[in-house]
């Protein structure tokens, strides 16, 4: 496993890390706790030392599983979690005041819940689960974060940027108040390269890439015939003819597999790792097999400039969320 510095946090984190939304259950109807624990342990065995979760994942279930895992390991594993917006608006809506999403007391309350769920005394990265730049000088959220840092309950602060909207956090990045950004970045959505990534490199902000597989599209396993459990959220994400649209796009990508990447998942991960602004990638991994396959991509090989340029032709502007 290769490691990169997570911006100005100074943390040396595995470049392939653990996305823990799926193991929380809830919206993922095919999650399995026993397999989740096997996956977490396999991750640590392979050198993965950074886990991203959230209080909202399974109403704390993801955090509690990770807490159990942490008690069973001796090595240092860094954990990032997130505070859900109090008004439960994903993504954040323009014009909604920050006091409705992240008031002072609520920030502290959620942080205390996450600390208890995880069984730790301090969170390595505490994040807001949504963000709007218009909140920058509103409310008392900065006071709450400063208090938590002074109490030793959080080390650093980050933001999970709204879906497919990297431009909504640029002013926060310029402010110096944020240590990490979590952002959607994949072959289909390369928009962070335009403004966000240059800013992160300039300001030494850690970049946590989420959705590298576009919720499964870029694994090549979504076809028009694919089905999901009845109440699984992916039925909404891939509703109508979206599976057909995905399948057709992915077939074009299959033609690009060569010595640089032998499978679509490998191509998707190597694409993300090949940008110098990226600190780590957090693919969702609900099974030990997922962990084994994804971790194997961390071998130091990056995509050539020629292939990266060719992949720009596959940008697909749409928002399935």
Q: pLDDT tens for residues 84-118?
A: 999 999 999 999 999 999 999 999 999 999 999 99
Rounded to whole angstroms, the Cα distance separating 130 from 159 reads 7
CA-CA-CA-CA torsion sign (284, 287, 289, 291): positive
Band of pLDDT at residue 233, cut at 50, 70 and 90: confident
The mean predicted confidence, pLDDT, of the chain is 95
pLDDT confidence band for 231 (50 / 70 / 90):
confident
Task: Provide CB contacts within 8 A for 141, sequence distance 6+.
Answer: 98, 102, 103, 104, 107, 128, 135
- Rounded to an integer, the average pLDDT of 198-205 is 98
Residue 229: predicted pLDDT: 85
Average pLDDT, integer, range 156-178: 97
Residue 31 pLDDT > 80: no
Q: Give the whole-number percent of the chain exceeding pLDDT 90.
A: 93
Domains of the chain: 3-314 (3.20.20.100)
């Amino acid at each position: 496993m290769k490691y990169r510095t997570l911006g100005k946090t100074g943390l040396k984190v595995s470049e392939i890390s653990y996305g823990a939304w799926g193991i929380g259950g809830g919206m993922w109807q095919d999650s399995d706790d026993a397999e989740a624990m096997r996956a977490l342990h396999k991750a640590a065995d392979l050198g993965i030392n950074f886990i991203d979760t959230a209080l909202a994942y399974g109403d704390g279930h993801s955090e509690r599983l990770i807490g159990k895992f942490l008690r069973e390991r001796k090595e240092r594993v860094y954990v990032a979690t997130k505070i859900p917006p109090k008004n439960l608006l994903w993504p954040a809506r323009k014009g909604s005041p920050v006091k409705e999403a992240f008031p002072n007391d609520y920030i502290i309350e959620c942080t205390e819940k996450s600390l208890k769920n995880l069984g730790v005394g301090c969170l390595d990265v505490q994040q807001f689960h949504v963000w709007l730049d218009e909140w920058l000088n509103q409310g008392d959220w900065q006071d709450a974060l400063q208090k938590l840092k002074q109490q030793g309950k959080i080390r650093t602060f980050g933001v999970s940027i709204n879906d497919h909207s990297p431009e909504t956090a640029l002013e926060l990045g310029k402010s110096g108040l944020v240590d990490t950004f979590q952002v959607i970045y994949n072959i289909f959505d390369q928009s962070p390269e335009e403004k966000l990534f240059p800013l992160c490199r300039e300001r030494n902000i850690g970049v946590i890439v989420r959705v590298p597989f576009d919720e499964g599209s870029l694994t090549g396993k979504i076809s028009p015939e694919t089905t999901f459990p009845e109440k699984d959220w992916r039925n909404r994400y891939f509703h109508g003819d979206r599976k057909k649209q995905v399948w057709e796009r992915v077939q074009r990508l299959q033609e690009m597999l060569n010595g640089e990447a032998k499978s679509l998942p490998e191509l998707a991960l190597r694409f993300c790792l090949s940008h110098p602004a990226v600190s780590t990638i957090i693919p969702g991994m609900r099974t030990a097999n997922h962990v084994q396959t994804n971790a194997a991509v961390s071998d130091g090989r990056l995509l050539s400039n020629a292939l990266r340029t060719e992949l720009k032709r596959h940008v697909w502007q749409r928002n399935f969320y």
